[in-house]
Amino acid sequence: MSECVFCRIVAGQIPSTRVYEDDLVLAFMDIGEVNPGHVLVALKPHAENLFALDDAQTAAVARASARVARAIRAAFEPAGLSVYQANGAAAGQTVFHYHVHLVPRHDGDGMAFTWPVNNPPREQLEAHAARIRAQLA
Ligand code: AMP
Ligand code: ZN
């Protein structure tokens, strides 16, 4: 079994709240309590970060990210969207499997929702993801 948490998510060995999927990409809700509303757009094959991607993988993540971004806009009408990624430990990467963060912004730094402290946000995650999925259908 892979030790990479995102490889295990892609393989279905760790549950995730799925937003979007195609041949090369899986998008799912970030479960980190400090990251409410983040959608993670991950490359399915293991590649550590942008430095390791080929052109087809780069294009696939960009295309999927834009599609999911438009669905987030249609679902939540945020004032804006931050798109970021960390490449390498020195840059702040903590999961070494390539992914992009999509972060809807409301009134500057506000998120689409907040999570109760110490309360697993499964229902909120699923409700949030369902609204995005509905815009992708
Ligand atoms: P980074 O720090 O940019 O590498 O992003 C890694 C992200 O993955 C963090 O925002 C974590 O909260 C998130 N994360 C870690 N494990 C999981 C998981 N099992 N399901 C969803 N998100 C996760
Ligand atoms: Zn991996």
The CATH number of the domain holding residue 94 is 3.30.428.10
Cβ–Cβ under 8 Å, residues 84 and 101: yes
Domain with 70 in it: 5-112
- Model pTM score: 0.94
CA distance 137 to 58: 23
Contacts of 129 (CB under 8 A, 6+ apart): 17, 18, 19, 28, 29
Nearest CA to ligand 1 atom 9: 32
Cβ–Cβ under 8 Å, residues 113 and 36: yes
For residue 122, is it within any domain? no
How many structural domains compose the chain?
1
pLDDT of the residue at 121: 78
List residues, by chain if needed, whose CB lies under 5 Å from ion ligand 2: 4, 6-7, 46, 97
For residue 105, is it within any domain? yes
For residue 125, is it within any domain? no
| High-pLDDT (> 70) share of the chain, % | 91
Beta bridge partners of 39: 29, 102
99 is catalytic: yes
**Residue 32 in contact with ligand 1 by CB distance below 6 A:** yes
Q: pLDDT tens for residues 33-54?
A: 788 889 999 999 999 999 999 9
